[in-house]
Copies of this chain bind each other. A is one copy, B any other.
Amino acid sequence: MLELVQKGNKIYAEDESTVSILKKGFYGTEFDKKLFLSEIEALYLMDSRNAECKSDAGKVSLFDFFSRFSKKSKFIARYFAYKDWRDRGLVAELPDKSYKEPLESPVKKYPSQEIELPKFKVHGTFFKSDLTTLIKEENEGKELYEKYWFGQYGAYKAADRGQLNKLDIYETIYLANKGTLILNDIKKEEVEAIATKRHKDFSSLYSVYEDWRNKGYVIKTGFKFGTNFRVYFPGARPSTGSGKDWTHSKHVIHVFPKNSRLLISEWARAIRVAHSVKKTFLLAVPGSQAKSSAKLDFVLYHRHGGEADNPSNYPPHFAMLALGEEEYLGGSDLAAALQETARRKLELLLAIVDRETSVTYYIVRRIILPKSPQEYYEIDWLQP
């Protein structure tokens, strides 16, 4: 039986057997032959490991101990994220506890090249309500689709069914900016104003579209995959003609501007769709950083070769940000947490605790798109 002692606002273990068991499990901080525990560690040991806690007034009840924290910010989310990680036999510690720092932060580099654009110009009619442009010149419109994959000639997956190329709103503005598209009866600035009125994040979305297109990527709608965009690596072309295989994208991009806020449940939904269709989910976090208070909740050790990490031999693997299903996450908060994680040379693990205290984990890994001023991350579902 594990025995804990509460005195004032300190909780510790002092009997030899408890101290020895808890030290082996990497709980607490030893000082003066006592092992001092954080509140969350003590709660966990009482809740999940049947520890008994005594104060001068007698036995401390789990419910009463818990209830003290009812006014704290996201205490339940933090506790159950900690509990879930520990219940898996893995080690989690408070972020202020000292640890071996990893040698370098892992960053993946994406390829990049200059975009090639046609020499010809085309004319187009813009449809305000549909945010779509119809291209006048049939041959150039077809080439723009087949060779550069702008717009959709004919019908989707059936370019021979129909005779016109249709550009979406991002393609419209991009090609107008590059001088390839001349709009009839409307100015480019007016088109941008209409798009921004429809979607308040439009300028952020467009900045991401432009960034990837400029580096040779093909960017189309991610509608089928629940995201803003899907992505093809430089050189991709649509499959045309019969008998050819359809070109499949492997990446999707979703945009989460720093000045926006989103319910965690809505945020997770976008990742879930991408995951169900086996795409790599890329998160773009455009905009400038506002002051933000996002703090990391835990530092986590993972497995090495099938065994639980040993914090005395290895550096930690992740920094954890625990979030409840019903919380809002701001783009700036996420950016701040990512910055702090990078400073510690770790990877960020988002632990989302739903209304049933079930925890879903997502790893967030920084990627580099050469010459890009923007921040991009790969997000992956993790089963610890």
Contacts and interface: CB of A to CB of B under 8 A. Distances in A.
Contact of A129 (B73, B84, B269, B357): B73
A343 interface: no
Contacts of A352: 223
A48 interface: yes
A224 B360 contact: yes
Interface residues of A, number: 76
A130 B358 contact: no
Contact of A223 (B73, B128, B325): B325
A315 interface: no
Contacts of A199: 263, 326
Contacts of A357: 152, 155-156, 166
Contacts of A221: 325, 354-356
Given A127-B75, A355-B169, A269 B263 contact: no
Given A134-B63, A161-B87, A226-B272, A74 B355 contact: no
B354 A268 contact: no
A273 interface: yes
A161 B357 CA distance: 12
B48 A156 contact: no
Interface string A286-328: 0000000000000000000000000000000000000011101
A256 to B, nearest CB: 13
Interface in A173-204: 184-185, 198-199
Given A63-B164, A164-B66, A355-B223, A129 B273 contact: no
A126 B69 CA distance: 10
A368 interface: no
A237 interface: no
Nearest to A352: B223
B47 A129 contact: no
Contacts of A198: 326, 328
A130 B47 contact: no
Nearest to A325: B223
A273, A324, A328: residue with the most chain B Cβ atoms closer than 10 Å: A273
B130 A75 contact: yes
A156 B163 CA distance: 55
A208 B356 CA distance: 19
Contacts of A220: 355-356
Contacts of A62: 163-164
15 contacts: A47-B163, A63-B134, A63-B136, A66-B164, A67-B184, A72-B129, A76-B130, A76-B166, A83-B162, A87-B155, A129-B324, A152-B357, A223-B360, A266-B266, A272-B276
Across chains A and B, which 8 residue pairs bring their CB atoms closest together, nearest first?
A: A156-B358, A76-B130, A168-B355, A221-B355, A223-B354, A276-B276, A67-B125, A226-B269
Given A70-B134, A76-B132, 11 more contacts: A47-B163, A62-B164, A63-B134, A66-B164, A70-B125, A84-B155, A152-B357, A220-B356, A221-B325, A223-B268, A276-B277
